[in-house]
Amino acid sequence: MLLHIVARGRIGRGAEAELVDRYLKRVSWPVKVTELSDSAATPPPAPGAVTVLLDETGEQASSRQIAARLERWRDDGRRETRFLLGAADGHGAATRADADWSIAFGRATWPHLLARAMLAEQLWRATSILAGHPYHREG
């Protein structure tokens, strides 16, 4: 299953970009990043895709819960999971309504570049959990 990050704004070449790259290179599943301008339309989802919204009002899911969702979608034959990161003003009502799942990294508002780095780390962590890799520890 393809893990596809669709993010508003350009990350550039700074420390945040290096951090995102570092984590995404570790993910053994196919990964794609699409950067959109703030005014560009979000591309329609591919057939069989799942849409996950990163939104401060979303569910505060644990790493194991994220892994379990990815596992279920993969095992159900879903071809792609799209993770939408909004612009400074967040997501519109239509985007929220169309999402299959909405998650938050806590109730705080995070800068876009940090949210992208945290998502990349969570994708690495989730796929590591599913692979039985010892990276994730609990307790």
Residues belonging to the binding site for S-adenosyl-L-methionine are: 54, 86
Domain annotation covers residue 137:
no
pLDDT digits (tens, 9 = 90+) for 75-129: 999 999 999 998 777 788 888 889 999 999 988 888 888 899 999 999 999 999 9
28 and 131 Cβ atoms separated by less than 8 Å: yes
Residue-wise DSSP of 67-99: HHHHHHHHHTT--EEEEEE-BTTB--HHHHHH-
Instruction: Indicate if the pLDDT at residue 137 is higher than 70.
Output: no
Domain annotation covers residue 94:
yes
Output the domain CATH number for residue 88: 3.40.1280.10
Structural domain of 69:
2-131
Residues 6 or more apart whose CB falls under 8 angstroms from that of 61 comprise 69, 103
Q: Which of 61, 53, 51 is nearest to 105 (CA)?
A: 61
Residues belonging to the binding site are: 54, 86
Distance (Å, whole) CA 61 – CA 18: 25
63 and 96 Cβ atoms separated by less than 8 Å: no
Domain annotation covers residue 13:
yes
Domain annotation covers residue 139:
no
Q: Report the pLDDT value the prediction gives residue 22, as an integer from 0 to 100.
A: 96
56 and 107 Cβ atoms separated by less than 8 Å: yes
Instruction: Indicate if the pLDDT at residue 139 is higher than 70.
Output: no
Q: Which residue has the higher pLDDT, 60 or 137?
A: 60
Q: How many domains does the chain have?
A: 1
